[in-house]
Amino acid sequence: MNLSLLILIPLITSFALLFCKGLKQVRVVSFTGALVQLALAFILLALYWQERTAGNTAIMLFESNYRWFSALNINYHIGVDGISIAMILLTAFVMIAGILISWTTESMAKEFFFLLVFLSVGAYGFFISLDLFTLFFFLEISVIPKFLMIGIWGSGKKEYSAMKLALMLMGGSVLVFVGLMGLYFNTDTGNGSHTFDLLQIAQMNIAVEIQRMFFPFLFIGFGIFTALFPFHTWVPDGHSSAPTAASMFLAGISMKLGGYGCLRVATFLMPEAAHEYSWIIILLATIAIVYGAFATLMQKDLKYINAYSSVSHCGFVLLGIGMLTQGSITGAVMQMVSHGLMTALFFAAIGMIYTRTHTRMVEQLGGLMKAMPFISTVFVIAGLCSLGLPGTSGFVAEMTIFMGSWQNTNTMYRVATILACASILITTVYILRAVGLVIMGPIKNADHNGLADGTWNEKFAAGILIIGIVAIGIAPFWLNELLGPGTQTIIKHIEKAIAI
């Protein structure tokens, strides 16, 4: 299968959107595009299984490689392994849900859907890139649509949030850029030229001093995208001010770009440095987990609750990566997928509540279960997944991370693991409190009595995300098998490097 299709379909969709007239046409076109993309993601998954069961053990499948700037040895090189496919599936799920949630966008619908679909181009491209230049290109491509979406369709202090998000993400990008430069000029393909090719660099042994110097740039750069403490401050503002679909995309996909980059680029290409610096990563991740959880306790705005809990949950991803065991890294990727689905569902539910009640403040809401049972149920499911109830993806992912982390026998690392485990308790507190105050009890505001429940598009959107959450929660083995070869490659690479 030609992987470029994954980029081409959203591109064609967004181009077609430019010629659409009226909301009806716009949403039909973008929905069709997202549906085709979802089908394509499943076809990719099937083909991948087929190849793997046929005994194909290549690191990356369906590779294709085209010259882009031959003078600088920059190629458009794409390929996927299990990890990328999991992320692609996640993106396809969130995109379709995001489009359905924005079904009734009134103002500037064409521009909104154009930017939303264009955002996904960056994500798909990022996950299939095997050339660091291409990867960086797709990483940065989303700055414009994010800025415009938050600034135009957002709520609250949207301009401030949009600017903060754009500048902080740009800051992350430039750090990544410096790291990439350091990598590039210390590679040697044999004939004196340098390379950006991920697989080629992995085979070279980058000198340890170089790794020490440039690993922080790459890790912090990507870390900013995934809310690495203390660079997480864009997350609460950005997520809360964004329109629902953009929040879903930001928290569900955009933050995963960072985690994926930390794993695939920083850790995979500079294993020695990752090992040396792992204590800092774990320290920061643990702070993010605990601090994020405590900060969530204090929030009164539903979107802020979810945003701060995202900081805490993405801390688990970084913790898993920092522990450098197979289990923890598998868990980190699972957590990325799980958190992507869960947080998208959460934002979707909050968006549905907000469009009806026009408030997101916990104290102004109450007893919603009586007025809108479907939306409340969705809210509860998202909450339970967030606190890691067995049967949801959250449990599987966090459990895998903890078990993997415990394999790292360093005492301090085990303390960090215990702390991270304990934070689930706080998660339970804030989730149950939010659920209790918003969903249960008597209806606080009499106006909320006659509000309509979810429409078909909202049910569809929530349903598709819930299917994903439950599918991982009940049958985690398929995801484990999908990620297996990819994480094994990374782990073997790290172990080989550390052993030397």
Partner 1 sequence: MWNDILALLKQELIVTFIILILLTIKVGATEWKTDNILKLANLLLLINFMAGFVMNSEGTLFNDMFHTDRLITLEKNMLSLATLIISLQSYDWLKTHKHILEFYVLMLSTLLGMFFMISSGNLLIFYLGLELSTIPLAAIANFDLGKRQSSEAAFKLIISSAFSSGLLLFGISLVYGTTGSLSFEIIRQQLDGSSLQLYAFILLLSGFAFKISVVPFHLWTADVYEGAPVAVTSYLSVVSKGAIFFVFVPVLYTVFKSLAAHWYLMLFLLSILTMLIGNLFAIRQNNLKRLLAFSSISQVGFILVGISGSSTAGSASVIYFILIYIFSNLGAFGVVSLISALTGKETIEDYKGLYSTNPLLSWVLTISLFSLAGIPPTAGFFGKFFLLMAGAGHGNYELVIIAALNMVIALYYYLRVVKAIFMDSNEHPIEKLKISILPKLAMLACAGAIIITGFAGWIYDHISSLSTGF
Q: Which residues bind partner 1 (CB under 8 A)?
A: 67-72, 74, 133, 136-138, 140-141, 143-144, 147-148, 151-152, 158-159, 162-163, 166-167, 170-171, 174-175, 177-178, 181-182, 184-185
Identity of the residue, 170 or 399, whose beta carbon is nearer to partner 1 in the bound complex: 170
How many Cα atoms within 13 Å fall on the side-chain side of residue 210? Answer: 17
For residue 433, the minimal CB distance to partner 1 (Å) is 35
Q: How far is the CB of 101 from partner 1 (least distance, A)?
A: 22
**Token reading at 479:** 């995801």
Q: Smallest gap, in angstroms, from Cβ of residue 292 to partner 1?
A: 25
| Cβ at position 50, least distance to partner 1 in Å | 33
Q: Give yes or no for a contact between 263 and 218, defined as CB atoms under 8 angstroms apart.
A: no
Count Cβ atoms within 10 A of the Cβ of residue 190 and give its class: 0-12 exposed, 13-18 middle, 19 or more buried. exposed
Provide the minimum distance between the beta carbon of 470 and partner 1 in the complex, in angstroms, as a whole number: 37
67 versus 492: smaller Cβ distance to partner 1: 67
Question: Whole-number minimum distance, CB 148 to partner 1, in Å?
Answer: 6
Instruction: Please identify which residue in the block is written with the tokens 């995202």.
Output: 310
Helix (H, G, I), strand (E, B) or coil at 76: strand
The least CB distance from residue 176 to partner 1, in Å, is: 10
Instruction: Return the axis-axis angle of helices 109-128 and 82-101, rounded to nearest 10°.
Output: 170
Nearer to partner 1, 31 or 118 (CB): 118
By C-beta, is 245 or 332 nearer to partner 1? 245
Cβ neighbours of residue 24 closer than 8 Å, sequence gap 6 or more: none
What distance, in Å, lies between the first and last C-alpha atoms of the chain?
38
Between 130 and 295, whose beta carbon lies closer to partner 1?
A: 130
Q: Considering beta carbons, is residue 144 or 283 the nearer one to partner 1?
A: 144
- Of 20 and 302, nearer to partner 1 (C-beta) is 20
Nearer to partner 1, 114 or 379 (CB): 114
Distance of alpha carbon 251 from alpha carbon 256, whole angstroms:
8
At a CB cut-off of 8 Å and minimum separation 6, what does 327 contact? 400, 401, 403, 404, 405, 407
Residue 177 CB, shortest distance to partner 1, in Å, is: 6
For 233-287, the three-class secondary structure string (H helix, E strand, C coil) is CHHHHHHHHCCHHHHHHHHHHHHHHHHHHHHHHHHHHCHHHHHHCHHHHHHHHHH
Cβ atoms of residues 280 and 274 within 8 Å: no
Q: How far is the CB of 103 from partner 1 (least distance, A)?
A: 23
Q: Residue 452: phi, psi to the nearest 5?
A: -75, 150
Query: In terms of CB distance, is 212 or 444 closer to partner 1?
Result: 212
| CB-based contact 126:372 (threshold 8 Å) | no
